[in-house]
Amino acid sequence: MATTAINLTPRDFKGRSDPDWCPGCGDFGVLNALQRAVSELGLRPHEIMAISGIGCSSNLPGYFNAYGMHTLHGRSLAVATGAKMANHEMTVIAVGGDGDGYGIGGNHFTHTARRNTDLTYVVMNNQIYGLTTGQISPTSSIGMNTKSTPFGNVEQPVNPITSAIMNGATFVARAYSGDVRHLSGIIQQGINHKGFSIIDVFSPCVTFNRTNTHDFFKDRVKKLEDEGHSTSDWQSACEKAMLFGDTIYTGVFFEGDRPALEDVEPVIKTGGPLSMRELGLDKEQAQKIIERIM
């Protein structure tokens, strides 16, 4: 029996709830780019799982038509890894902010890169804690005045691009939420890549970060692809990622070829997705476990 292909549009990935972000928030651009990316890739909502932690940006799964989980602060990558290992036929996309991902979740960020789990991580980096109304985050610039640093931030910010490369991520990119088309293309590349894909997105907080604004980035961002950057050159990638002044690069910094976790983990490699297997328990054994849990 012949089947008719259904072409979905970005609107088909609109969630039941409307975003409650501040007007002008960069996260709107990220949501738009993600909806555009998955529709252009021909994915279906039931083939995608979006997983987030806590924060303004971590509300995104509720605004996105797919399977979704709103998990614990900093723990989105741990949950996303479990989901991917249970069913690596799913397209797993983790989303969150810089505080959630690089602060509270910094340990999971390191080890997900090291393991090269096949998932895409989109971090909406606004360089401040927005949900808690304006404290410095791990990516806040030195000297930034916030509620928690009234005399200026004295802490060196982390560099997620160089950190991801050094820890073993095999797709490392950066984008700006104000350029939705460019961001959407990078998200598509990240989803298509087999391995851990990290996309750090400058997503300005229009309410609490008056330094790293849309005007700030519009005057500074330049695309790596316009300069012929080689994504296989990790040293050049790190050097370009360290620039944060009159020039700030966006694009794919590094792409490597290393087996993903599911391709080397013996249990997964030989038996297929855990969710597709027989439970291995008879009804009586399963009932005893349920009774103990309840």
Tens of pLDDT, residues 113-144: 999 999 999 999 999 999 999 999 999 999 99
Given a cut of 90, whether residue 274 has pLDDT beyond it is no
Q: What's the confidence (pLDDT) of residue 101?
A: 97
What are 175-232's pLDDT values in tens digits? 999 999 999 999 999 999 999 999 999 999 999 999 999 999 999 999 999 999 999 9
Element (H, E) at 78: helix 76-86
| pLDDT tens per residue, range 202-218 | 999 999 999 999 999 99
- Backbone angles phi and psi of 79, in degrees to 5: -70, -40
- CA atoms within 13 A of residue 109's CA, in its CB half-sphere: 31
pLDDT for position 202? 98
Q: Are 258 and 170 contacting, i.e. CB atoms less than 8 angstroms apart?
A: yes
In a domain, 1, yes or no: no
Structure tokens at 129: 């804690």
DSSP 223: E
What is the predicted pLDDT for the residue at 278?
Answer: 79
CATH code, domain carrying 127: 3.40.50.970
pLDDT at 159 over 70: yes
pLDDT band at 4 (very low <50, low <70, confident <90, very high): low
- For the chain, the domain total comes to 1
Binned at pLDDT 50, 70 and 90, residue 1 comes out as very low
Please determine, for residue 103, whether its predicted confidence score (pLDDT) is greater than 80: yes
Does residue 31 belong to any structural domain of this protein? yes
Q: Give pTM, 2 decimals.
A: 0.93
Q: Is there a domain that residue 122 lies in?
A: yes
pLDDT band at 36 (very low <50, low <70, confident <90, very high): very high
Q: Quick check: is 34 in a domain?
A: yes
What pLDDT score does 5 carry? Answer: 65
**pLDDT, average across residues 83-100:** 95
Q: What are the pLDDT digits (tens) for 106-121?
A: 999 999 999 999 999 9
Q: Which of these, 163, 178, 72, lies nearest to 126 by C-alpha position?
A: 178
Query: Rounded CA gap, 183 and 10, in Å?
Result: 14
> Average per-residue pLDDT in the chain?
94
Mean pLDDT of 77-94: 95
Give the domain range for residue 179.
10-293
2: pLDDT strictly greater than 70: no
In this structure, which long-range contacts are made by residues 68-75, counting pairs with CB atoms below 8 Å and at least 24 apart in sequence?
73/100, 73/104, 73/105, 74/100, 74/101, 74/103, 74/104, 74/105, 74/106, 74/108, 75/105, 75/108
Would residue 2 count as lying in a domain? no
Q: Is residue 271 part of a domain?
A: yes
Tell me whether residue 5 is in a domain.
Answer: no
